[in-house]
Structures are given as structure tokens and as C-alpha cells.
């Protein structure tokens, strides 16, 4: 009986980790799409790719996961650039990629 309990606990932990990773990837995809839309560039491959994970302390001092993602975008359809973003929980802590075009005053 104790083996079954341990398996259930391990399964619950694995599900919680998978679920938080999926939520972070969805958030990263949303942020990448919004950045591409604001910069008027094309979002390529319709996805983000996880490129790293590590334990980091948040601003409140608690340990949590910091996940890195990459995505591809194109300015004119014939080039390809890499964007990167880092999430700590749901919060964006680092971004490199397309920049929104500034409006010029005439």
C-alpha cells in the first residue's frame, strides 16, 4: 500500500511540473506574438521553443523556476531572426527580439 501512495504522489508532482511548464510556454507564446504584432514583423513557426530552465529567487525571495524560450520572426519574409525571452513564473524578466516601430511626428 505505501508503494501506491508514493506512486500517486510522484504522479501528482510530475503533473504539476508539466502543467506549469505548459502554462509558461503558452505565456511566452502570447508575449512573442504580441511583440511581433507591435513591431509589424511576421511570427514564424507559430510556436516558442524552451531553451532552458533553472531555479532562481524571485523578487519576494522565494525559489521558483526561470524558463528561457526562443522564437523566430521575419521582417520581410525572406530573412529569419531569433527572439528570446525569459519568464520567472508568469512575469517577463528579459526580452530580446523585434522592437515596436516608433511613430514619427511630421
One DSSP character per residue, 13-35 reads HHHHHHHHHHHHHHHHHHHHHHH
pLDDT at 67: 96
Report the C-alpha gap between 14 and 76 in whole angstroms: 42
Q: What rounded mean pLDDT belongs to the chain?
A: 90
Residue 19 has pLDDT above 80, yes or no: yes
In a domain, residue 101? The reply is: no
Please state the pTM of the whole predicted model: 0.82
Question: How many structural domains is the chain composed of?
Answer: 1
In a domain, residue 72? The reply is: yes
pLDDT at 95: 95
Domain that holds residue 29: 2-96
Amino acid at each position: 500500500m505505501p508503494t501506491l501512495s508514493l506512486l500517486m504522489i510522484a504522479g501528482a508532482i510530475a503533473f504539476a511540473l508539466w502543467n506549469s511548464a505548459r502554462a509558461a510556454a503558452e505565456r511566452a507564446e502570447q508575449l512573442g506574438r504580441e511583440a511581433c504584432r507591435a513591431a509589424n514583423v511576421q511570427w514564424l513557426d507559430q510556436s516558442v521553443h524552451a531553451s532552458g530552465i533553472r531555479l532562481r529567487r524571485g523578487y519576494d525571495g522565494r525559489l521558483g523556476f526561470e524558463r528561457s524560450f526562443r522564437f523566430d520572426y521575419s521582417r520581410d519574409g525572406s530573412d529569419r531572426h531569433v527572439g528570446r525571452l525569459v519568464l520567472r513564473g508568469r512575469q517577463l524578466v528579459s526580452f530580446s527580439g523585434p522592437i515596436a516601430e516608433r511613430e514619427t511626428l511630421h
